[in-house]
Amino acid sequence: MPTIKRHIETLQKEGFHSVVYELRGRIDLKRLGRHFNMMLKRRHPDVTNYHFFWFRTKECVIVSYVGNMFLVDAVEDFMNKAIQIGIAGTADEVFSGRDKGLFMGKLKQCLTHFSPKPSTRSYGGSQLGPI
């Protein structure tokens, strides 16, 4: 699990604005990151230097983002679109704000429900640089 730890450390030190969403229903994880990146380039070029991380629980997928102040609106915009185009059945915001302590607390609380599935990707996110 060293990769998960690196994602958590990156989320903790990057950006001032944080968002956590809970995705339920049918979730297309392959399209999740790709479509978010495409939408940012087209509609939110002011969102730069962000990090995202997702992981499975038994009932849902938790997706977290950290970045600049424009990120929150971009993620909300994307989640609404993701439901419309079938990337996720539902997307509920469970945290949004600037308080790193509250964000990390919520993320760690969600991580207690982490539930890997055999032979299936159970977590992922933005590309991590070299150690």
Please tell me the distance from the alpha carbon of residue 26 to that of residue 33, in angstroms, as a whole number. Answer: 16
Identity of the residue numbered 58: K
Q: How buried is residue 66: exposed, middle or buried, by Cβ count under 10 Å (0-12/13-18/19+)?
A: buried
H or E segment at 61?
strand 61-67
User: What would the two tokens of residue 53 be?
Assistant: 């991380």
pLDDT band at 129 (very low <50, low <70, confident <90, very high): low
pLDDT (tens digit, 9 = 90+) per residue, 7-34?
999 999 988 999 999 999 999 998 998 9
pLDDT (tens digit, 9 = 90+) per residue, 34-78?
999 899 889 988 887 899 999 999 999 999 999 998 998 999 999
Kindly report the CA angle at 15 between 9 and 18, in degrees rounded to 5? 85
Does residue 1 carry a pLDDT above 60?
A: no
- Rounded mean pLDDT of 89-102? 96
Q: Output the pTM of the full model.
A: 0.92
Count the Cβ atoms, other than its own, within 10 Å of residue 79.
21
Residues 6+ apart with CB under 8 A from 4: 55, 111, 114, 123
Please tell me the distance from the alpha carbon of residue 22 to that of residue 110, in angstroms, as a whole number. Answer: 9
Domain boundaries, the chain: 2-125
